[in-house]
Structure 1
């Protein structure tokens, strides 16, 4: 799932740096409610 999406994005010419930022941002958004509720 995830690696296939990454390959498609890279083949379309997106820079790896942008991809890393995007992954960190999506992970932060996904984990924020968990951290908030458990804190």
Structure 2
């Protein structure tokens, strides 16, 4: 299963992956948020 837009993701590129294949890194955090390209 992929992560829907708005869900937390790992910006380093590891699974689980975003459905959109784009993880926006959040400054100062170790995670990001899935966004549309």
TM-score (norm 2): 0.18
Work out which structure has the larger RCO, using CA pairs closer than 8 Å and 6 or more positions apart in sequence: 2
Q: Which is richer in helix?
A: 1
Q: Which is richer in strand?
A: 2
